[in-house]
Amino acid sequence: MYIDSCIAENVIEHFTELKVPILCMHDSFIVPYDYGMELRAIMVKAGAKQTRRYMFTEKDGVGRDEWFSEY
């Protein structure tokens, strides 16, 4: 749990420094739509920093960005 909180802290600090609103909900984050891909990248970077291993994100379902990409 401590490592999880350190990863979350890194993600929150990144977006706070950019003055981008971020909301944490359990093991998820909510940021403005335009920052979705950056959030994924920062989560991977923060995870790697804390665990010293590459951590990639796999997600179940489709995000809003993928819903509209076909049109």
pLDDT digits (tens, 9 = 90+) for 23-59: 999 878 999 989 988 998 999 999 999 998 887 666 6
More confident residue, 61 or 56: 56
Domain positions in the chain are 2-67
Write the Ramachandran bin of 59: left for phi over 0, alpha for psi from -120 to 50, otherwise beta. Answer: beta
Q: For position 27, what pLDDT does the model report?
A: 79
Report DSSP state, residue 27.
Answer: T
Q: For position 23, what pLDDT does the model report?
A: 96
Buried b (16+ CB within 10 A) or exposed e, 9-29: ebbbebbeeeeeebeeeeeeb
